[in-house]
Amino acid sequence: MKPPETPEDEELRLAKLRSLGLLDTGQESRFDRLTRLTQRIFKVPIAMVSLVDEHRQWSKSSVGPNAPEASRSTSFCGHAILGSDVFIVPDTLKDERFHDNPHVLGEPHVRFYAGCPLKVDHRRIGTLCIVDQAPRTLDGEQIEILKDLAGVVEQEVASTLLATRDGLTGLENRRGFVALAQQSLQLSTRQATPASLLYLDLDDFKRINEVHGHQAGNDLLISLADRIRDVCRDSDVVARLGGDHFVVLLINATREQAEIVVHRIKKALTHYTRLWEDGDAISFSFGITAYQPERHETIVELLADGEALMEEIKKLRNLHRDDGEMQELAAAEADHALAGFNNQLQERTS
């Protein structure tokens, strides 16, 4: 038996898969209808929409005697996502990659397999596949039919992606963030790695809209989203929660590393500070909350702490600005003072 190789874009592929929020979710009629249709068209005992994550092949929808998930090391779909065309195994017992595979020797006794990769933003996340318990092959027309059906599955997956995306910036929305970040937190807990939540809020955004117009405000939100995305890693989860509120879950990152990300975002925004005719500088308030597994059972709880921390820091910042104290500080000193507020408040919530 030959385990499937790892795709060259594996990290980006997994990030795209997780962003869909489909893994470990319940049955959905929109996918079940397609697997039933595929089974009837090809007259096979098993048809499946599978998703391939880091360690397993998981079935989002299946018809026939098939386990809901299998090890990726023994999966057929793990091989199928390595290429862009339909992957066909006419007779598993005559193929050195599969002749002693446990799914061939035991249930469900796979003798024939054909899987069409499912692509989202050019990343192959899984397959629409068919399985028979007798050897067979597909002619050219049948291959095209399987591709067409896989295209319909991709459209359904794309509709899921739209439901989790912010229409203005293209970032995850709140729903998408909660689904994707929860999975990332679980992985962080299993691997005992740190995670930090960065919560950002644009300063004076209401006034910017009033003075410069809503289109200029939208342009600013898009620009900030682009700059946050540029300085973050593919493994980080970036979202616009609504209005001028943005959030980043930084995986395998301490508070100190999160502060470096804040500095990079500020630096990236310096090229945008002359957008407005009156030369207004663009700034934001932020709070950094360290993930504590014993305190934050879910991402929702971590998000609530992050928002509360950011709001209190923003109040303190506005208070000092009104008192004139902030103007008397140099830029570096102001950042140091705000970091101090952040640390004090973080200790208060611990």
Res 279: pLDDT: 56
- Out of 163, 183, 211, a domain closes at 163
φ, ψ (nearest 5 deg) of residue 342 = -60, -45
Residues sharing a CB contact under 8 Å with residue 202, sequence separation 6 or more, in sequence order = 208, 220, 221, 224, 244, 282, 283, 284
Res 66: pLDDT: 83
In a domain, 121, yes or no: yes
If asked whether residues 69 and 190 sit together in one domain, one would say no
Task: Measure the CA–CA gap between 127 and 59, rounded to whole angstroms.
Answer: 10
Task: Measure the CA–CA gap between 289 and 284, rounded to whole angstroms.
Answer: 16
- Look at the alpha carbons of 166, 250, 228, 230 in this order and tell me if their dihedral is positive or negative: negative
Write out the two tokens for 99. 């002749």
Three-state SS string across 41-81, please? HHCCCEEEEEEECCCEEEEEEEECCCCCEEEHHHCCHHHHC
Write out the two tokens for 55. 């360690």
CATH code for position 145: 3.30.450.40
Task: Measure the CA–CA gap between 347 and 344, rounded to whole angstroms.
Answer: 5
If asked whether residues 57 and 88 sit together in one domain, one would say yes
In the chain, the number of structural domains is 2
In a domain, 196, yes or no: yes
Res 263: pLDDT: 93
- Out of 138, 163, 188, a domain closes at 163
3-state secondary structure of 244: coil
Cβ neighbour number for residue 190 with a 10 Å cutoff:
8
> Can you count the helices (H) and strands (E) in the chain?
12, 10
Residues of the chain with pLDDT under 50: 277, 324-342, 344-350
In a domain, 4, yes or no: no
If asked whether residues 235 and 207 sit together in one domain, one would say yes
Res 342: pLDDT: 47
The whole domain housing 115 covers 10-163
CATH code for position 304: 3.30.70.270
If asked whether residues 218 and 144 sit together in one domain, one would say no
Res 180: pLDDT: 81
In a domain, 178, yes or no: yes
- Out of 163, 189, 204, a domain closes at 163
Res 320: pLDDT: 61
Res 326: pLDDT: 41
If asked whether residues 214 and 341 sit together in one domain, one would say yes
Residues sharing a CB contact under 8 Å with residue 324, sequence separation 6 or more, in sequence order = none
Q: What average pLDDT does the chain have?
A: 86
Res 183: pLDDT: 76
Write out the two tokens for 95. 């193929």
pLDDT digit string, tens, across residues 68-80: 899 999 999 999 9
Q: CA 243 → CA 114, 227, 273, 299, 316, distances in Å?
A: 46, 17, 20, 20, 21
